[in-house]
Amino acid sequence: MADAVAVTSQIRKRKSVGQPLPQIDSAEKVKGLTQYLQDLSVPGMLYGAIVRSAIPHGLIREIDTSRAERLSGVRAVITARDCPGVLFGPQEPQDWEILCRNKVRYIGDEVAAVAAISPDVAKEAAALVRVEYQELPAVYDPFEALKPGAPVLWEQHPDNVAYRFHIERGDLEAGFARADDVFEHDFYTGRFYHGQMEPMGCIVQYHADGGYTIWTPTHLPFRSRMTYSKGLGVSMDKIRIVVPPFGGSFGMKYELNINCIAALLSKKSRRPVKIFFEREEDIGAGHPRMGLHFHYRLGVTRDGRFVAKEARVVGTGGARTFWTPPVLSTACYRIDSLYHFQNVRTEGFLVYTNQSPATCFRGFGNAEALTALETFIDEIGERTGIDPVELRRMNGVKAGDVSLHGWRIASCGLRECLDRAESVSGFRNRKPPPKIPPRRGVVRGIGLAAGHHISGNRIIINEYDGASAQVRLGFDGQVAVIVGEPDIGQGMNTVFAQIAAEVLDVDPASVRSLPIDTLVSPHGVGTLGSRGTTVAGRAVQLAAEDARTKLVSLAAELLGVPPQEIRLQSGSAVVASGGGSLSMAELGREYATRYGGAFLIGHGHFTPPTEIPDATKYGNLSTSYVFGTHVAEVEVDTETGATRVVRYWALHDSGTIINPSTATGQVHGGVAQGIASALLEEVLVKDGRVTNPNFLDYRIPGFQDIPEMYVEFVETKDPYGPFGAKSIGESSLNPTAAAVCNAIYNAVGVRVHQTPVTPERLWKLLETARTEARKKE
Amino acid sequence: MTELNTVEYIAVKSVAEAVTALQSHKGARVIMGGTDLMVGMRDGRIRPSCLVDVSRVRELIGIANHHGSLRIGAATKITDIIEHPVVRQACPALVDAGKLLGGWQIQNMATLAGNVCNASPAAETAGPLLVLDAEVEACGPSGLRSIPVHQFWLGPGKTALEPTEILTAIIIPPGVDGRRSAYQRVHIRHSVDIALVCSAARVVLADGNVQEARIALGAVAPTPIRVREAESYLQGRALSEEVLDKVAELAQAATQPITDVRASAEYRRAMAGVLVRRVLQSAARRA
């Protein structure tokens, strides 16, 4: 209890951390002044367009670029002949080509590209490139692709398996032998597009020294440079990446081949080249969240203990490998750090199919796995007669636990979230579902799901985990934060400013975070894996503390008192006993004047307590772990199958909340996206062609689809993040789809096994249930 | 985008000027709000040689109630229609539909005539106009003519309008009692969406029995359709559960839906039955 009191008094003393400040750049964004990629141009810039495969699978017989080359205004046309020809890519297996050498593998595969003086001319020229194909049979369904004799996409992978995941811990057979009941469950989560406001794009300029400057919003400026340097055949230092403000991403803008295409167009034309996707291209040939099939077998004792879990997960990766291997592994085993399953075996298959390559999406496979698992636990609760919330309490991890795979849970608010969710939502007093779905009328139901996530993830790059930062004070008195992790629109820079401002006791609104440029920023792992606040934020805190030490010593010297007499207070260094103070501006000017204009710089670096997993995949993967519980209340129209989420409650343990306003914003956005994944959004593919590549038939939610939400943070005390902060970006989305599916069950008494639950899909399930009930009569 | 940059554009001040422009420019299209036309042009589905802009032609704007008929000028915006007190009282089905036509921005730009001329089988306003026995007034080189709305749509995107004709007004004829009319649809997104199936109905009741009925369905056939079998069946009957079941059955039988990216034929047929029941009940509750 002493601890708790200490924390409370500490919180009261905080001026910046814990304040619901507006995002530092929000006024600029709202006024339309922010310069996004599409607002940027470089003198002499050309526009690129990509010639895409019109067939799902085939050999390239001939490419005739002559008509495109003759078109007035065209400055460069490139094909595989212009590419270094090495296979490269962000993950194993490396199967990117820049432009297809002899084979196309999906409708939209990149065959050639043109650069021209305007987007219109580029588009026209791209249409003039003639490609002759010898068509090959194609395969779209991962289970078909796994069958012997299926069309093979890559000779090196005759079984169409791009990546296979296997994990085993404990004694599965013994575990099942201990079980009183064994349940099975299948779930499919559909192909889901990021729907970010700003489509993919880049500007690339070739330089006389053989290097390139790339302007592109990317989560991973440093890591993607490693990928592109291999693809382009130049050393890493020859590639400079500058990150403009993000127009949204949600995982889409990690590493993209268009940067290499634009680079080669620039090299050939000797002019900077911009490629910016139209929406149809972004959806139709882009890189959505992959479809994932889950099969679970779970052994449960009579009193509700999980004792064995066997799983098979199959991912529809598409024709090439983006970030899907780690997404698949996450989908396979991250849930083992939410519940103690005791004995597990999971097999995962990432399957090549003739569709555009999938990539990562907020939630990174864990949102999908939780959708499958949390609907399963709801069902197990019902079938065993044990309250499903109690099942979660009983089997859930606790602070101090080490998961089966060696993940160390330093802080855990799972139980608090479950308790609070039950009491604020009225879930405990829910009605049982109807035995037969009513023929008519609108019925209500309520559903609960838990979830968790990481805060940072080992092995994003092999060399290290962690972050570094500088907090500096200049001649002009400006306090600036320098990190290697870009703000991807979620408010990182605001959070960094609050952390630095807290340490230095300055106004957070006056602290600037510098834009990311690989030429000047410290090396950063990237903004992904929910690591921004926790890992980079911790480095900022340490850098600010170092700056504070230096400032105190400078002020002490100037004011002629010992350093322990100096306190930083409201933008100044003051003598605690009174009798003198110096403002930040004065200190900055004094330091610069003494040292030839130098900045006073505080350095900080944070190496998290993570480990590279061993051969059996054992090892602590993340700095800290976050937990949450969501409750959804829905209305289902039993005649049409239309579902509307009418009320929503989200409870989260994300440690200390640095900014309640931006954190709540993350929850609102995560829940909206989660509801969309549950009810609305799916990239539909027929014979390899996306049939809804537009926002009319690819339906992102509007205001009427998203209810008011109750958001509450359960602040546990975590030892690693800055001021005990953990992540929220992905955990806010993770439990949503399952909460909605469970609410649908509670409303109509029918279990769904696939998302999104569109009206027609639910109507079919309702009709089947009603027909079966009539037969029984 | 090339098409948008190079198309000829003429803003006219009168209907006569518009007709002249259409005569002298083969392949010209009339533009009012542009909410369908501009999207079609951007996609390359529609490639007019010239745009004849009538959005500022005064004689085409406004709602007039004379000799018992309601005349809605072709260039009247959806927002102005759904906020009009007479329309709200006399044609609530049209208001139901207008409120679901796109979002507010679209309703502020789009016109009733544009929605009619776009000839989508799923057009929001088609069903209401069918059940209101509306007439389309068109003007061409040889003057004005009137076309009953049920004869106006010939197929998806196809209308009875000649290339040199312009739609000038939608007229609800005198004697049509539209007070008990309603429109509903099935959609996926509750915010802005397009109808998977939609239906409108109008009833005139006497002593609780149906004296006159009109029922229309959209997105279940190449054009919006009337369900005449159900209309005549309803005559003289009360809207009981059994009667509504029969009407739903007749409505489903009248459909010839397709399966596409939005819905299956099976679902569309089933929803036609659901919607017809609902719009009849909703219409009957109005007074």
> Looking at the domain B181-285, which fold is it?
Enolase-like; domain 1 (3.30.390)
Q: Which residues pair with A633 in a beta bridge?
A: A446, A647
pLDDT tens-digit readout, A498-545 = 999 999 999 999 999 999 999 999 999 999 999 999 999 999 999 999
pLDDT tens-digit readout, B67-100 = 889 999 999 999 999 999 999 999 999 999 999 9
Distance of CA A472 to the CA centre of its chain: 30
- Boundaries of CATH 3.30.43.10 in chain B? 2-53
3-state secondary structure of B154: strand
State both tokens at A74.
């065209």
Q: Where are the beta strands (DSSP E) in A458-518?
A: 467-473, 479-483, 512-513
Q: Average pLDDT, stretch A222-242?
A: 98
How does residue B3 score in pLDDT terms, banded at 50, 70 and 90? very low
Cβ contacts of B191 on chain A, cutoff 8 Å: 701-705
Residue B14: pLDDT above 90?
Answer: yes
Q: Average pLDDT, stretch A594-605?
A: 98
Residue A10: pLDDT above 50?
Answer: no
Q: Do A120 and B5 touch (CB under 8 A)?
A: yes
pLDDT tens-digit readout, A274-322 = 999 999 999 999 999 999 999 999 999 999 999 999 999 999 999 999 9
Packing angle of the helix pair A736-748, A759-776 (nearest 10 deg): 30
Cβ contacts of A759 on chain B, cutoff 8 Å: 186, 188, 196
Residues recorded for chain B: 287
Query: How far apart (Å, rounded) are the C-alpha atoms in residues A764 and A641?
Result: 8
Q: How would you label B118-133 residue by residue, b for 16+ Cβ within 10 Å and e otherwise? A: bbbbbbbbbbbbbbbb
Position B6 scores a pLDDT of 77
Query: How far apart (Å, rounded) are the C-alpha atoms in residues B89 and B70?
Result: 12
State both tokens at A590.
């004094």
Please name the amino acid found at residue A91.
Q
Catalytic machinery residues of A: 730
How does residue A579 score in pLDDT terms, banded at 50, 70 and 90? confident
Q: Measured between alpha carbons, how far is residue A562 from residues A473, A554, A559, A566, A575 in Å? A: 22, 10, 9, 7, 9
Residue identified by tokens 């799902």 is A56
How does residue A614 score in pLDDT terms, banded at 50, 70 and 90? very high
HSE toward the beta carbon, residue A317, CA cutoff 13 A: 31
**CA-based nearest distance A256→chain B, Å:** 25
- Boundaries of CATH 3.30.390.50 in chain B? 181-285
Choose, out of B7, B190, B269, B275, the residue to mutate when testing the contact with A (most A CBs < 10 Å). Answer: B190
CATH top-level class for A2-34+466-606?
alpha beta
List chain A domain ranges. Answer: 2-34+466-606, 365-458+614-776
Residue A11: pLDDT above 70?
Answer: no
Q: Do A680 and B263 touch (CB under 8 A)?
A: no
Position A4 scores a pLDDT of 35
Query: How far apart (Å, rounded) are the C-alpha atoms in residues A452 and A366?
Result: 8
What architecture does CATH give domain A365-458+614-776? 2-Layer Sandwich (3.30)
Q: Average pLDDT, stretch A467-477?
A: 97
Position B1 scores a pLDDT of 41
How, if at all, do strands A306-318 and A291-300 pair? antiparallel
**CA-based nearest distance A91→chain B, Å:** 34
Burial class (CB in 10 A: 0-12, 13-18, 19+), A679: buried
- Between these two residues, A480 and B7, which has the higher pLDDT value? A480
Cis before residue A722, ω within 30 degrees of 0?
Answer: no
Nearest chain A residue to B267 by CA distance is A760
Q: Do A640 and B271 touch (CB under 8 A)?
A: yes
Q: Do B274 and A120 touch (CB under 8 A)?
A: no
Q: Is the dihedral of CA A37, A40, A42, A47 positive or negative?
A: positive
Cβ contacts of B103 on chain A, cutoff 8 Å: 702
Q: Average pLDDT, stretch A145-156?
A: 98
Position A535 scores a pLDDT of 98
3-state secondary structure of A212: strand
Position A2 scores a pLDDT of 34
Q: Average pLDDT, stretch A589-607?
A: 97
Write phi, then psi, for A553 (nearest 5 degrees). -70, -35
Candidates A123, A702, A759; nearest CB to B192: A702
Position B5 scores a pLDDT of 59
**CA-based nearest distance B266→chain A, Å:** 10
Report the CATH number of the B2-53 domain. Answer: 3.30.43.10
3-state secondary structure of B32: coil
Residues in CB range of A59: below 8 A, 6 or more apart = A102, A103, A133, A134, A136
Q: Which residues pair with A725 in a beta bridge?
A: A655
Position A9 scores a pLDDT of 39
Choose, out of B261, B264, B266, the residue to mutate when testing the contact with A (most A CBs < 10 Å). Answer: B261
Nearest chain B residue to A758 by CA distance is B188
In chain B the first and final C-alpha atoms are separated, in Å, by: 49
Candidates B1, B103, B189; nearest CB to A701: B189
Q: Average pLDDT, stretch B243-250?
A: 98
Choose, out of A120, A692, A760, A762, the residue to mutate when testing the contact with B (most B CBs < 10 Å). Answer: A760
pLDDT tens-digit readout, A15-60 = 999 999 999 999 999 999 999 999 999 999 999 999 999 999 999 9
Residues recorded for chain A: 777
- For all residues of chain B together, what is the average pLDDT? 95
Cis before residue A756, ω within 30 degrees of 0?
Answer: yes
CA angle (A264, A267, A271) in 5-degree steps? 115
